[in-house]
């Protein structure tokens, strides 16, 4: 089974998660920054909070056997996007 980490926080992320959640061959974890006090449920396993930089993201992905990351964060979440891009560059 493929484990997909979706860095969420946008309407696009919510729509993608709704579509992917019906696929039994994909395990999905959504990640939210924690900027919203009571975020609406995403319909998949959801974690809230930062990872602790690129190293923390790498450790989390290794520990949870993540196969792929999709970055659908808000434009203001530029640091998270940079961390995801840096991690992706390491594994290319």
* pLDDT mean by block of 10 residues, the chain; 92 residues: 96 96 97 87 95 97 97 92 93 74
CB neighbours of 28 closer than 8 A, spacing ≥ 6?
3, 4, 6, 17, 20, 21, 44, 45
- Residue corresponding to tokens 């995801």: 84
Any idea where the domains of the chain sit in the sequence? Answer: 8-90
Tell me what pLDDT residue 42 has.
Answer: 95
The reply to whether the predicted model has a pTM over 0.95 is: no
Tell me what pLDDT residue 35 has.
Answer: 81
Least Cα distance to 54 among 92, 86, 8, 91 occurs for: 86
Strand order in the sheet with 26-32: 45-48, 26-32, 2-7, 68-71
């Amino acid at each position: 089974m493929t484990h997909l980490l979706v860095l969420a926080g946008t309407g696009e992320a919510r729509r993608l998660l709704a579509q992917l959640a019906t696929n039994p061959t994909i395990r999905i974890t959504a990640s939210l920054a924690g900027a919203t006090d009571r975020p609406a449920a995403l319909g998949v396993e959801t974690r809230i909070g930062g990872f602790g930089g690129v190293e923390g993201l790498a450790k989390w992905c290794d520990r949870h056997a993540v196969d792929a990351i999709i970055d659908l964060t808000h434009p203001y979440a530029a640091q998270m996007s940079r961390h995801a891009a840096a991690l992706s560059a390491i594994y290319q």
